[in-house]
Structure 1
Amino acid sequence: MKQEYQDLILQTCGASSLRVGESIQTLWSGYGEIVRLHLEGCDRPSVVVKHVKFPEEAEHPRGWSTDRSHARKVRSYQVETHWYQNYSANQSCRIPASLAACSHGDEMLIVLEDLDVAGYGQRRTRVNNKEMKACLSWLAHFHALFLGVAPEGLWPVGTYWHLDTRPDELEAMEDAELKAAAGDIDRILNECSFKTIVHGDAKLANFCFSQSGRDVAAVDFQYVGGGCGMKDVVYFLGSCMEEKECEKKVPGLLDYYFAELKVSVRKDVDFSALEKEWREMFAFAWTDFHRFLLGWMPGHWKINRYSKQLTKEVLHKLRLGSETSGD
């Protein structure tokens, strides 16, 4: 790590020295890494640094290395830096505190609070109902906090699979009916009355758990932006359950999310109208992500019977709507 970066971290934290610790993970397509730095001489034992270095030749694991893909990633790190510098959450939807950020040439650095030290040191690859509810509660409080807030400096439409940013994947799709309906599905989601700021990549891997599993914090805000809260909910549920579990558990988990949302939205919000609209958007949001997967990786395990059934229902609604309007 460059000396100027080390000096910034030492000055920001009031530390006398630092030691580069373990690499927590490499960033997608070789765009850098996330490392833990151990500090001496201050009240903060460690920090986590997201060190982005744009590669001369990106290597996408799925073969999607294009100029458009690179531009999207560059923008995502700019958005994430802006998010950490200009937005904050609360204890009900905990995120790491932003300590410093800088960019120079083809490098960017974001210095963050170490959530392990803050009591969120557990990661999960599989979750039970209690842990899923902890994540859904986080999402509900997050969506309530930013309900009606304009996504200034963020993605106008959040989520990494947003249609306008994924024309290559749309072109690669073989499902002709869904391909033709993709624009309508996107428009319906974007025109919903109740908008919030969505995390945009709310998969299980981006939640950090307390020892008990009852409390969580979220990381990775590269695709944070405006939109319907259901986008985060469907992506999270799909990240931790297979088709049979979805069929069995989604209704109850959705009820739990809306119960948490109800207690956390402002009192002047017409919650019954919000819930009605977002419940209607659930299948559209799920189908929207299914559309992306079909173009991006047709053999993905998430392309299952549950997803296909929801997609079938959405396409049927669109056909009925078209017939009713006389198109």
Structure 2
Amino acid sequence: MKQEYQDLILQATGASSLRVGANIQTLWSGYGQIVRLHLEGCDRPSVVVKHVKFPEEAEHPGGWSTDRSHARKVRSYQVETHWYQNYSTSQSSRIPACLAACSHGDEMLIVLEDLDVAGYDQRRTSVKDREIKSCLSWLANFHALFLGVEPEGLWPVGTYWHLQTRPDELEAMDDAQLKAAAGEIDMILNKCSFKTIVHGDAKLANFCFSRSAGDVAAVDFQYVGGGCGMKDVVYFLGSCMEERECEKRVPGLLDYYFAELKKCVKTDVDFSALEKEWRDMFAFAWTDFHRFLLGWMPGHWKINRYSKQLTKEVLHKLKHDQKTSEH
């Protein structure tokens, strides 16, 4: 790590020295890495550093290495830096504190609180009911906190699969009916009366759990931006449950999310109107993500019976509404 970056970290933390520890993960398509740094001479034993270095030749796992893909990633890291420097959440939607950030040429550095030290040292690849509810509670608190807030400096429309940023994947789709309806589905989601700021990549892997699993914190805010809260909810549920589980458990988990949301929205919000609108958006948000997957990776495990059924319902509804408007 460059000396100037080390100096920045020492200055931000008040540490007398640092030692590079484990590489936590390599960033998508080889755009850098996330490392843990051990500190001496200050009250923090460690920090986590997201070090972005734009590659000369990007390697995309799905073969989507294009100029558009590169520009989207560059923007995503700018958005994440802005998020950590300018936005804060409550204890109920915990995120790591940002201690310092800088960018220089084709490199960016974000120095974050180590959530492991803060007690969120558990990661999950599969989850029980309690852990799913902890994440839904985090999302409900997050969406309530930012309800009606303009996403200044963030993506105008959050989520990494947002249609406007994914024309190549749309073009690659085989499903002609869904392809034709993609713009309308996107418009319906974007026209929501009740908008919030969405995490934009709220998959299970981006949640850090406490030992008891009763508390969670979230990381990775590259695609944070405006939109309907249902986008985060459907993406999260789809990230941790297979089709049969979805069929069986989604209705109860949606009820839980809305009960949590109701507890934390401000009293001047017409909650019944909000709940009705967002429940109506559930199938649209799920179909929107399904549209992205069909173009991006047609063999993905999330393209399942449950997703196809919801998509069928949405397309049927759009067709019905169109006929009604013609008469």
Task: Sort the TM-score into its range (normalised by shorter chain).
Answer: over 0.9
Task: Give the secondary-structure state (helix, strand or coil) at the position aligned to 2:212.
Answer: coil
Question: Would you say 1:18 and 2:28 are equivalent positions?
Answer: no
The 2-side partners of 1:149 and 1:237 are apart by 25
Unaligned runs of 5+ in 1: none
1:185 corresponds in structure 2 to 185
Superposition pairs for residues 2-151 of structure 1, below 5 Å? 2-151=2-151
Task: Give the secondary-structure state (helix, strand or coil) at the position aligned to 1:4.
Answer: helix
The CA deviation at 1:110 is 0.1
Task: Give the secondary-structure state (helix, strand or coil) at the position aligned to 2:115.
Answer: coil
- AA aligned to 1:268 is D
The 2-side partners of 1:104 and 1:324 are apart by 56
Superposition pairs for residues 189-204 of structure 1, below 5 Å? 189-204=189-204
- AA aligned to 1:41 is G
Superposition pairs for residues 227-242 of structure 1, below 5 Å? 227-242=227-242
2:284 corresponds in structure 1 to 284
- AA aligned to 1:199 is H
The 1-side partners of 2:150 and 2:204 are apart by 26
TM-score between the two structures when normalised by the length of structure 1: 1.00
The 2-side partners of 1:127 and 1:39 are apart by 33
The 1-side partners of 2:135 and 2:324 are apart by 39
The 2-side partners of 1:213 and 1:284 are apart by 30
The 1-side partners of 2:72 and 2:319 are apart by 33
The 2-side partners of 1:83 and 1:29 are apart by 22
Task: Give the secondary-structure state (helix, strand or coil) at the position aligned to 1:55.
Answer: coil
The CA deviation at 1:158 is 0.1
2:326 corresponds in structure 1 to 326
Which runs of at least 4 in structure 1 moved beyond 6 Å after TM superposition? Answer: none
- AA aligned to 1:3 is Q
- AA aligned to 2:153 is G
1:271 corresponds in structure 2 to 271
The 1-side partners of 2:11 and 2:232 are apart by 37
The CA deviation at 1:100 is 0.2
TM-score between the two structures when normalised by the length of structure 2: 1.00
- AA aligned to 1:282 is F
Question: Would you say 1:260 and 2:260 are equivalent positions?
Answer: yes
- AA aligned to 2:131 is E
The CA deviation at 1:218 is 0.1
C-alpha distance after superposition, 1:211-232 (max 9, x if no partner): 0111000000000000000000
The 2-side partners of 1:60 and 1:293 are apart by 15
The 2-side partners of 1:98 and 1:265 are apart by 26
The 1-side partners of 2:198 and 2:282 are apart by 14
Task: Give the secondary-structure state (helix, strand or coil) at the position aligned to 1:157.
Answer: coil
1:313 corresponds in structure 2 to 313
- AA aligned to 2:75 is R
C-alpha distance after superposition, 1:154-211 (max 9, x if no partner): 0000000000000000000000000000000000000010000000000000000000
The 1-side partners of 2:138 and 2:127 are apart by 15
The 2-side partners of 1:14 and 1:92 are apart by 28
The CA deviation at 1:52 is 0.1
The CA deviation at 1:77 is 0.0
RMSD: 0.5
Unaligned runs of 5+ in 2: none
Task: Give the secondary-structure state (helix, strand or coil) at the position aligned to 1:23.
Answer: strand
Task: Give the secondary-structure state (helix, strand or coil) at the position aligned to 1:34.
Answer: strand
Task: Give the secondary-structure state (helix, strand or coil) at the position aligned to 1:100.
Answer: strand
The 1-side partners of 2:12 and 2:29 are apart by 30
The 2-side partners of 1:254 and 1:137 are apart by 11
Q: How many residues align?
A: 327
The 2-side partners of 1:143 and 1:284 are apart by 18
- AA aligned to 2:298 is P
Task: Give the secondary-structure state (helix, strand or coil) at the position aligned to 1:111.
Answer: strand
The CA deviation at 1:118 is 0.3
The 2-side partners of 1:192 and 1:133 are apart by 25
Task: Give the secondary-structure state (helix, strand or coil) at the position aligned to 1:170.
Answer: helix
The 1-side partners of 2:93 and 2:215 are apart by 9
The CA deviation at 1:32 is 0.1
Question: Would you say 1:205 and 2:210 are equivalent positions?
Answer: no
The 2-side partners of 1:61 and 1:288 are apart by 22
The 2-side partners of 1:214 and 1:140 are apart by 15
